[in-house]
Amino acid sequence: MKQVDENQTKVDAILVAFVLCGYLYSGYYTMLFLLTYDFFVRLYVSPVLSPLYALSRLCVKTLKLTRKDIEAEAKTFADNIVLTVLIFILASEFWQEHIVSISLVLVLVFWKVVEATKSICVGCKLFQLLRRHNIEIVSL
Interior angle at CA 26, CA 24 and CA 30, nearest 5: 90
Q: Is the pTM of this model over 0.85?
A: yes
Query: How much of the chain, in percent, has pLDDT values that exceed 70?
Result: 99
Domain boundaries, the chain: 3-132
Q: CA-to-CA distance for 97 and 113, rounded, in angstroms? A: 24
Q: CA-to-CA distance for 34 and 72, rounded, in angstroms? A: 23
Do 89 and 101 form a contact (C-beta atoms < 8 A)?
Answer: yes
pLDDT (average), residues 36-40? 97
Q: CA-to-CA distance for 31 and 42, rounded, in angstroms? A: 16
Local confidence band at 59 (pLDDT 50, 70, 90 cut-offs)? very high
Q: CA-to-CA distance for 93 and 74, rounded, in angstroms? A: 29
Inform me whether the pLDDT recorded for 140 exceeds 90: no
Sorted by sequence, the CB contacts under 8 Å of residue 88 that are 6+ apart come out as 104
Do 57 and 99 form a contact (C-beta atoms < 8 A)?
Answer: no
pLDDT (average), residues 92-99? 96
Inform me whether the pLDDT recorded for 136 exceeds 90: no
Collapsed DSSP state (helix, strand, coil) of residue 137: coil
